[in-house]
Structure formats: structure tokens, C-alpha cells
Chains A and B, each alone.
Chain A
Amino acid sequence: MNTSPAPSKSDLFKYTLRQADNSMVLCQRLCQWAARGPDLEEDISLTNIGLDLIGQARSLYQYSASLCDQQVNEDDLAFMRDSHEWSNLLLVEQPNGDFADTIARQYLYDAWHLLFLEQLTESNDTTLAAIAAKSIKEVKYHNRHSSMWIKRLGDGTEVSHQRMQDAIAAVWPFTAEMFIPDELDQRMLEFGTGVDLKALKHTWDSQVSSLLVDATLSKPVAGEAIVGGRQGQHAEYLGDLLEEMQSLPRSMPNHQW
């Protein structure tokens, strides 16, 4: 990775916030599964993954807060921003659907997340690199868990096979966004701080293809990419998700909880 000069504080703030938002939104989606899992073991696993994600989000929000010009803390960033200010990938905000939909979203993201974090450990920003190194251990487990379910559901019963196939197809158009850098990604890459998103595509493709073959599933044909999450252009889903998540601190601002 290239070094010097360092990215501007505002770029670093925005870049960190993006990663925090991904973890936070996906965590919130998993929270919606509480006590609704297909069995007790899954209730525990999904919450475990959610807990890892909220831990990552908190580290990243705290770091973002330290880079922000205004006096903010992790909770201000999570609870006081409107949906157009959120810069998560569209993939992670997709609704839970049934268990196959949740697993499809999770696996396609986990596989990308792991590759992303591996690169981020080489960032010249030592805080981002350290958070990435810690998160990798967790995301390896997430990836193992979701891969296992892709195989079980893909190669389970006829019903589960069909549901898994439909679920993969439904979220597929949102995966392209993970590999399309915008200007901020480009600048961060040039400074040696950010990840080369385009370079992740090849490995991700081959890992996903090989798992889908194992799971007796077919890979959807690449259609038109749906993008815009990083620029704050979200579907209505995110507004609903945030409205629920932010309701209490927004109805009683400036309170300690």
C-alpha cells in the first residue's frame, strides 16, 4: 500500500463511519430474530454474530467520533442520524425474510467482509488496522456459520433447496455494490489507508461459486447492479429499521440511559 500524505480527517471519518454503519445495520437486522430462530442453537448463534457486529460497530463509531469536528459520541452517531446520512451497503439493510433470506444476505456479506478485513489489517491507519485484526477472528466464525447453512439448506430438502436458491437470487443484485469504489474509496486506497474493492471481486467470486456448487445451487446471472448505499441512497427499509432503533433516545434527547 502507498503511504503519505495522510487522508484528511473528514475523509477518514466518513470512511470509518461506512464500515461502522455496515456492522450496525446488519446487527439490527439480526436483533429482529431474537426468540424467533428455527431452534435454540440458532437463537444463540444469530445473537452471537449480532454481538460481534455491535462490538465492531462500537469500536468504529468511537473512532469516528474522535475524528469528527463536532462533539459527538458513539450513540449520537448511531441514534441521531437520519437514513440519508447512513452509508451502509444496501445488502445489509435487506429485510430478514425467512431463514434462507437471512442466511443468503449473511453469507454473501461475510465472504466479502472477511476479504475486506484481511486487506484492512494492512492499512497505514493503525486504529483501523487494529480493529480489522480483532474483527477477523469473529468474521471467520460468521463465514463458517453462514457457509454451513448455505450447504445444509441448498443440499437439504427440496423445499429448502428452492428457498435457498430464491434467497440467493433475491439479494444477488445488491452484491455488486461491494466491489464498486467511489471517489472516497479511491482516495483512501491511494493513501494506503483503504481497501482495494475491485481487487476483492475475483477471490469473492471464486469462493462463492465453489460454495454454491457444493450446496447444489446455481449462481445467479449477473444482472444490473443496485447501488447507492454509500451515498445515502437507501430503500424505505432503512428508514423503518432506524425509526424503530432510534425511537427512544430521539423521543427523549439529552438523557442518560
Chain B
Amino acid sequence: MRANQNSKTLSADELKFEELLASGRKIEPRDWMPDDYRKTLIRQIGQHAHSEIIGMQPEGNWITRAPSLKRKAILMSKVQDEAGHGLYLYSAAETLEADRTDMLEKLNNGKMKYSSIFNYPTPCWADMGAIGWLVDGAAICNQVPLCRTSYGPYARAMVRICKEESFHQRQGYEIMLTLCRGSAEQKQMAQDALNRWWWPSIMMFGPRDDKSPNSELSLKWKIKLFSNDELRQKFVDIAVPQANILGLTVPDNDLSWNEETGHYTYGEPDWEEFFEVIQGNGPCNKERVSNRREAHENGQWVRDAAIAYAEKRAKISRPKTTQDPL
């Protein structure tokens, strides 16, 4: 405790790191950084990348069944964007000396986590609307501040990701709007989807601030710029008026507008469910991970072939380069 309080014991590296953070400049891969800063970032970026990859499944589930050619093309694009986001993020993690293959292995054997939201099922087309509107909407609240996060490669990846997420959010809302302007049956589909996705979306921001073990350090290191509860409030304030425009009812009996604070007051999510899903007991945890593992294992011979082919090519071209130094 005393050593921590005594700033004189900071090394030159540590001082420089603190200075960079304080000045608001980015930490870059070449800069010295504390081990825990590196580990925290690898954990966060890795989880984020895994969430993108696992997140392809609940929507991929509807690509073959999208109800119009326009919706099909949009959904294909969106799921493709998610694979792209996964790639940028794994690349950002690699600048911290993490390895994509190793991270994917940890995802496949359950040693690394991904956002719990993707452990909920998508039984109905309206879920494509609700995911875009609410899940991507919540992701944007979380991710826009990350464009200013202290680690440079992560911040830059997030700028690009946020642009695409904003398109995803709008297309989801537009699906909801079309359903709500359609038949009574379609509007009911939209309401059911809102009922299914509202609380899981609220819980996407993580535990309450007083129960979030990793938040304090992340805030100090400017990896995180707002607390879980601040971001959650922001999301509720944006999403409730959007639900009103759709003519749908948010499934929260405690929801009310608070004139004094200028914010909505909302009810307490079922945190027991939240921790159960994190522990692997959500409706689709096993299915999502086993699909991922299956794709990975089925692709092993393909990846092996690509490596073998590249090695053969390298052998053929090598003698030329040794003979001709130019």
C-alpha cells in the first residue's frame, strides 16, 4: 500500500506511460506499458473480437431465410462486417503480442469469454430487427467512447467499426419499423422480439458499477471512459423514445420519465440470469461454442493445405533469390 502511494518509486518507463496517459495521447505498440495494462487490453479486445465472431451465428441463422432479396443482401453484408470487425480486433490484439490462433483456441475451449448477448436464440425474423436496433444500439453506446480509448490500435479499429455499427443499428430499426407498420401479426412479432431482447440488451453493459471488478483500473488507464451504469442510462434514454415511435411497449413496469434528472428511471434486470449466462448456462452457450469449434475443426485440413502449398511455393522460389541477390 505504502509503495503504491509513493510515486517516487515509479520507474522512468512508468513515468513516461503516466505522462502519455495524462496528456491524452495514444499508447502505441512500441511504447512501454504495464503488464496489467497489456493483459487487460488483450482480454477486452479478445472478448470483443470473439463477440463479433460468435455474433455471426444468431444472424447467420436467418441469412438463408431472409424474407426479401433486399433484406438478404443487407443481412449478408452485416454478417460479413462482423467477420471483418473480428479481423481488425484480432489484429489490434496482435500488436500487443497476442496470437490469433491462441485466442481462438481459448474461445473454443471456453477459456476466453464473449458477450453473453449472443447466447440468446433468434427464433423469429423480427429478432434480426431487434438485434440491430437494441444489441447494436447498445454496442454503439459502449463502443463510441472506445474510439478515444488510450491504446492507439484499438481506438483506430473502433473508429471503423463504429461507422459500420451505426449502419447495422439503422437497418435493424428499419426492420422493426416495417414490421410495426405491417399487419397485426407482424407487429406482434416485433413486440415479442422487443420482449426477448430488451433485458439482455440492458445487461450488455455489464454488472452495476458497485459490482464491476474490472472497471476501476480500466477507467484509470483510460481504456474505459464511462462506467457501466452511465452507458446503460444513455442507452435507455435513447431506446425508450425509439420504442415509442414504433408503438411498442418496453417490457419494464418500473420504467418512467424523471423530470428532475432528465433521465428515464428503469427497473433492475435479473442479475441472476446474467451470471448464469456468463457461467455458460444460457439458452445457446453450448450450441454457439460447439458450432465455432466444429467450423474450426472442419477447416483444419484446409488451413493445413494452404500452409503446405505456401511452403512448397517458397521452396521453389528460394533458389532464385539466392542466385540473384538483386
Contacts and interface: CB of A to CB of B under 8 A. Distances in A.
Interface of A: 28, 31-32, 34-44, 47-48, 50-51, 54-55, 57-58, 61, 74-75, 78-79, 98-99, 151-153, 155-157, 159-160, 163, 244-245, 247-249, 252, 255-257
Given A35-B295, A157-B301, A160-B301, A50 B76 contact: yes
Interface in B288-302: 291-292, 294-295, 298-302
A245 B305 contact: no
A153 B305 contact: yes
Given A35-B291, A157-B305, A40 B53 contact: yes
B56 interface: yes
Contacts, number: 137
Q: Specify the main secondary structure of chain B where it touches its partner.
A: helix
Contacts of A153: 302, 305, 309
B69 A54 contact: yes
Contact of A156 (B87, B186, B308): B308
Contacts of B305: 152-153, 156-157, 159-160
A44 B182 contact: no
Contacts of A57: 69
A252 B125 CA distance: 12
B77 interface: yes
A40 B299 contact: no
B302 A34 contact: no
A197 B291 CA distance: 42
B309 A75 contact: no
A149 B132 CA distance: 34
A43 B67 contact: no
A143 to B, nearest CB: 18
Interface in B79-110: 79-80, 83-84, 86-87, 90
Nearest to A241: B64
